A = this chain, B = another copy of it.
Amino acid sequence: MKIYLLDLGSLVIDRSDVLWHLDVGTPVRFPVYGVYIDHPEGKFIFDTGYDLDHVNAVLPFELPEQTPQQTLPEQLKLCGTTPDEIDYFVNSHFHFDHVGGNKYLGNATLITSKFELRSLLVPEPFERLGYSDVDWYERGRPVKFVEDDYRLAEGLTLFNTPGHTIAHISLLAEPEGRRPMIFAGDAVYTQETLDKEIIGGFHLDPVQSVEAIRHIKEMAREYDAEIFPSHEMETWDSWKHAPEFYGD
């Protein structure tokens, strides 16, 4: 398999929302990215960034920066494919900055949990902005519901990391020729999240969020895997970006 990291723009939030209660009043710009996996069993996407029009309309205070190149179709073009060729997609969770490119995936089946879908449709009051982009789902969409750990394909496993949202999931990828990779989604915003076990300021369940960090660290030890946080410019800059890829 080949694993491509797709650059889907950036947003700004307060550092106290990245690392709960730290440095209140300090804005930070962070990257938003997706993962495309070209695998012998199919083409998979994990997370699809944000829809620029949606953010400009509903959350302009997050100061989106997204060039035409930083969209799912253009990023997939760099990898030699198109949205129509994608077979399956997974969102770590349904917050707006992880589902924005779903609308392009016309032939792909969504793999998700009924619980996460319930939260998208009927969020808690404090989750309304997070789950504000529901348009992609209302257009109609083939769905495969899964619970527990789920084998997407050989060497591609979803595992549950709830807390940030009701049914947040992370992805373990085991490509040939390099260490396994854990895409931790918003269970791990930054390297500091891991080192200090500080959860993000957006969450459904803080206690579960701490457990999710520890579970991911345990998985990383067990598989000798590298953990990829979701929203940190420094770590993002240190990785290979599409059209470069990991694996094979």
Give A contacts to B, CB under 8 Å. 14, 16-17, 20-21, 24-26, 124-126, 197-199, 201-207, 210
Contacts and interface: CB of A to CB of B under 8 A. Distances in A.
B126 A198 contact: yes
Given A16-B16, A205-B205, A210 B126 contact: yes
Contacts of A198: 125-126
Contacts of A26: 25
A14 B25 contact: yes
B205 A206 contact: yes
Nearest to A25: B25
12 contacts: A14-B24, A16-B16, A20-B126, A24-B25, A25-B25, A124-B206, A125-B198, A201-B201, A204-B206, A204-B207, A205-B206, A206-B206
In the A-B complex, the 5 residue pairs with the smallest Cβ-Cβ separation, listed nearest first, are A25-B25, A14-B24, A124-B207, A125-B197, A126-B206
B24 A24 contact: yes
Nearest to A124: B207
Nearest to A20: B126
B24 A16 contact: yes
